[in-house]
Structure 1
Amino acid sequence: MIAMGLQNAVLPAWEQGMILGGRYRIARIIGQGGMGIVYAAHDLKLGGTLRAIKVTSARSGLSAFSDEAHTLMNLSHPNLPLITDYFPPESNQGLEALVMDYIEGDTIAGIMAKTPAGFPFSKLVHIGLQLCSALHYLHNQPSAIIHRDLKPSNVMIDSKGHVKLIDFGISRRYKEGQMFDTVKLGTLGFAAPEQQAGKQSDTRTDIYGLGALLYHMASNGAGLVNELGREGRKQPVLQLPKDIPSSFGMMLERMVQPNPEQRYQSMTEVERALRSFDSHIRQTEKEPMRWDSSRFDGNPPIISVLSVTPGAGATMLAITMAMMLGRKGIPVTALEYYGVQPEWVELLPYSKKDAKEPGLIAGISERFIQRRSGKNVNWLALQAEEGANRDQDARLFQMQLQQNRHTVNLIDFSSSWHDQHAMFWLKQSRHVIAVGDPFIAKWQVGQIQKLMKLGEELKTRGGSLHFAANKDVRFRGRREWFALFPEHPISAIPLLPQDAVLNMLWSGKWVTDHSVLDYRLSRAISKICERIMEGWK
């Protein structure tokens, strides 16, 4: 039964066991306020996966969530909610629901209420960097999205310290040339002065909000106080505990300047300032932080494989690496990137025995087929679909990554790595392996420069870019070919006898099932696997 019904604009509580949209079984209420109710529910189409469903009532036929839903459905970032479904208001009942990934954790407000000592400085920086990452992503959308409501109750943290910025109810897209916002919105104590005055809010409004939030956490709940300075202008007065570095207070003071022109001008600048404290913490703390301060904490460890040019061999390397890691006892979820032409469905080893094994093959959606190899390798192969919805594919792709966060997530981008969607995932990777072959006529200077830029950005975030030379064989120009790589390849993968490769593929097997081919590949790829296993351990 679908849980509906509304009387006198009072939102009814849905009973445990009720089913929304024939798919979501209500488990319990996990939050409630003046705007609506948040439920935990089991997704019956995805094996009972736990979801959060935010329900509210529309007033006078207007949607309370439509703007929030539209904003979130087109976003994909590890520190933002993943919207998986949406139910618009029914014409006569007026109920509206957002279905999103469930976060096992608490808000900053809830944590501070339970922990009188507040947040240690190391965790403060750790949380701030994740929020910077989310806000930087929002601000760099084609039309910048301003959150406008950074406060303790709008930031969720799970047991591993992974942060989610929630509640986009009053977010807005920046409109150039507009002098005033439509209404004055925000939370007193965290809203920037221009917001409270109803003036135009921009990315610097969120910089103020983040500064106010970090000060609230650092001071264990104190609010911002502004006093008149020597020039008769209001200036923030911050009072921080002695264990907080004075330079951190100076950073916060700049973030919460009443005049937007005197703040940091971008979230990139804020992140750079925060990251300097992150480095200091790693060097000075004797005991490891309970929450890992690396940028990968709480995020699935991603290993990305791409071809420098079409046909260089990323798909062969990705599938082989997944199998070799699985044999070494490393749990792997191998995914075919949703922007490529599907190949895995036909390439992956498959036998009649597999069809009889329950759970080995399953369709998790119209776009992905799931297979398993032994205990350690989970495959997600892309299916061809005419008119595929790219944003919907992105949401499903991220959902799979988040659900498999305790495995190594190995993504095959093939040669489809140039678009904005692909670059987003590449930048989230712990390791990116770029595969190049000897057919240099296809190499483009622009592509190599793009990879070098990616490598520099990965390095600043703690990741790394590696090159692999594929189809290696002794020939006159081999030395010159190796010199074309921006750095010496981490691995030289031999050109395998094509008749042996084709015999294996046409037999429904993979090259690693051939003892000689497996030996040659294992020797070549072992260095890459060792590097990945170092990060996993």
Structure 2
Amino acid sequence: MKSRPQWKGSLVGGRYELVSLLGQGGMSQVYLAKDNKLKGKRWAVKEVACVGTDETAFLEEAEMLAKLGHAQLPQLVDYFITAGGNGYLVMDYIEGPTLQDLFEKNQRELPIKLIIHIAFQLLDIFHYLHTFQPRPIIYRDLKPSNVMINQHNQVRLIDFGVARQFKQGQTSDTMQMGTIGFAAPEQYLGLQTDARTDLYTLGSMLYYLLSGGHYVYSKAKPLELRQDDIPETLRTTIHFLLQDQPQNRCQTAMEVKLRLRSLTPDADLLITESHLEAPLHQSNTTDKLIVIGGLFAGVGATFTAITLARILHALQIPNALVEQPTIEPDLYMLLYGDRHAPSPYMFPSDHICDPTSTFTTPWINGFTTWAPINPDGFQGTWQVSHAFKLLHMLKKPIILWDVSTQWEHPAVQELCYSADEIIVLVDSLPGKCDRPSSRKRIEQFASYQQRGKKVHYIANGVLPPHVRMDWQNSLPSNPLCTMPLIARSEVIQAMWKGDCIQDQPQHLNILFDALKPFLSEILPYESLNQFALQPRKSIFSRFNKRG
């Protein structure tokens, strides 16, 4: 007969009676405890031996947990250190198996859909932790035994024993913590950990779950050879998560989520906004984020963005054009917002930064939703999280994001990490591409290409053939398209009338032909063919009308 454990029935903190052992590791034990003050209430009580500096670490974990307010993270209700030198964290008790338990119960094989569903929830949790204020929180120890799953397949992340707050500029961590088989290289080397460390551990865990329990450091085969039905998007994303150098990995949780968005229903991705209208049109076009800007100022990025929006409108593909809130306002005036915007109208960027506001009717023009900034200028502080909330709020099959020349803004860089396509407008004036700012941006675009991003250069204006070749050789790659010249007088005349010149058939047809090489990159052939089937007016059509 087994003897009764010495701890069983012990009372800690004067009220928590230890009932059973839920789990244990090298440094702590977690017990199920009943509350002798709140009858019927049960808690998970974590016991940690606090000796010397361990007491400081315990208090740091307790204070960190006390600040968290996320439904899928442990809720701390009490903490204390006893006279005997043991620290106790009292947290809400979560019923259910760990992901490791579930994995083993199913002979180390889980449905890919379930693994993706779990990954998306973990990415949401990481986004919350990594954007926590005043300092991000780095979890550092993701593994299946630290993930709990309830009967609805909802995830709870437990055990923050090795989590830490990120300190900018620090070159190394005070402790080299993590779990062998899942930890990132910088954890083994004692270097600084950051959000990308958690993303590496996510990649390690996904590899483990998808390979039948093989650790990534001992892998003999790539994932596609271990299991041939893993979606390519998932495999390539895991590849980017598992790069040894942090700068070569996916950079944020939101970037990973956007990479994987085609693998899960839209409802799992959206930030709920019940007041938004449903899409006008269902399209077979895969969701795409397209970032558009100029290599330098005044090169026609906004004109090109409007052109793409109206071509998509003509193809009956719902789209949205977003004006980066930190640039000089332009779009509202170009579209004659005072005349065409709905009334009342609230600028989406203002709404995002003021959660108490009531979002009014979106500005929809056919299949295009316009999202300009206030012509008086954006007054708030635009952060990365705001960009992604706006991106999801304006959920459309294709979102065009005009960044002008603000490639260095943190939110723009974040969007570029997540973008499906990046368009850079250039013109042929000598010397502009050789400016220091242009060279720096070209290096930045090259770094995106190295990480698998598609960067397209589009030229604005036509050059004679003998000059064009010399100019193209000065660019990192040949322009994919060339925007045609449209008489300035016609553009001005349309603007004074409050019209969009891109909606005039004779101009839209020319612009479509010019941008067709890029459109072929993002749209299926059937969609492009729909535009080609539209009747085109000849230069004599206006005379036929008069006759």
TM-score by length of 2: 0.53
Please name the residue that 2:427 is paired with: 437
CA gap 1:419/1:514 in 2 versus in 1, 3 angstroms? same
Matched-pair contact (CA < 8 Å) for 1:301–1:405? no
Please name the residue that 2:332 is paired with: 345
- TM-superposed CA distance for 1:326, in Å, is 1.8
Larger radius of gyration: 2
What residue identity is the alignment partner of 2:515?
A: I
CA gap 1:420/1:117 in 2 versus in 1, 3 angstroms? same
- TM-superposed CA distance for 1:244, in Å, is 4.0
Distance in 2 between residues matched to 1:530 and 1:34, nearest whole Å: 56
Matched-pair contact (CA < 8 Å) for 1:417–1:423? yes
Please name the residue that 1:504 is paired with: 494
Q: Deviations over 1:378-418 (max 9, x none)?
A: 11111245652132xx3222112134455211111112213
Matched-pair contact (CA < 8 Å) for 2:347–2:372? no
Please name the residue that 1:398 is paired with: 388
- TM-superposed CA distance for 1:348, in Å, is 1.8
1:339 alignment partner, SS class:
coil
More strand by share: 1
Q: Deviations over 1:19-42 (max 9, x none)?
A: xxxxxxxxxxxxx9869xxxxxxx
Please name the residue that 2:231 is paired with: none
Distance in 1 between residues matched to 2:324 and 2:458, nearest whole Å: 20
Please name the residue that 1:312 is paired with: 299
Identical residues among aligned pairs (%): 22
Q: Does residue 532 of structure 1 match 2:522?
A: yes
**RMSD over aligned Cα atoms:** 5.9
Unaligned runs of 5+ in 1: 1-8, 11-31, 36-58, 73-80, 82-88, 90-105, 158-162, 225-234, 246-262, 272-289
Q: Does residue 321 of structure 1 match 2:308?
A: yes
Q: Deviations over 1:296-346 (max 9, x none)?
A: x99952111111110000000001111111211222121111221121111
Distance in 2 between residues matched to 1:470 and 1:164, nearest whole Å: 50
- TM-superposed CA distance for 1:423, in Å, is 2.1
Q: Deviations over 1:407-446 (max 9, x none)?
A: 2111111122133332221232211111112333433354
CA gap 1:532/1:223 in 2 versus in 1, 3 angstroms? closer
Matched-pair contact (CA < 8 Å) for 1:180–1:200? no
CA gap 1:303/1:165 in 2 versus in 1, 3 angstroms? farther
Distance in 1 between residues matched to 2:452 and 2:246, nearest whole Å: 19
Matched-pair contact (CA < 8 Å) for 1:155–1:165? yes
Q: Deviations over 1:205-236 (max 9, x none)?
A: 85995587357625767999xxxxxxxxxx99
Please name the residue that 2:373 is paired with: 382
CA gap 1:495/1:446 in 2 versus in 1, 3 angstroms? same
Distance in 2 between residues matched to 1:536 and 1:417, nearest whole Å: 34
Please name the residue that 1:514 is paired with: 504
Matched-pair contact (CA < 8 Å) for 2:182–2:201? yes
2:406 alignment partner, SS class:
coil
1:433 alignment partner, SS class:
strand
Please name the residue that 2:484 is paired with: 494
CA gap 1:327/1:465 in 2 versus in 1, 3 angstroms? same
Matched-pair contact (CA < 8 Å) for 2:294–2:425? yes
CA gap 1:208/1:458 in 2 versus in 1, 3 angstroms? closer
CA gap 1:514/1:326 in 2 versus in 1, 3 angstroms? closer
- TM-superposed CA distance for 1:453, in Å, is 3.8
Distance in 2 between residues matched to 1:237 and 1:522, nearest whole Å: 48
Q: Deviations over 1:254-309 (max 9, x none)?
A: xxxxxxxxx996446788xxxxxxxxxxxxxxxxxx949xxxx9995211111111
What residue identity is the alignment partner of 1:335?
A: V
CA gap 1:370/1:188 in 2 versus in 1, 3 angstroms? farther
Distance in 2 between residues matched to 1:138 and 1:513, nearest whole Å: 43
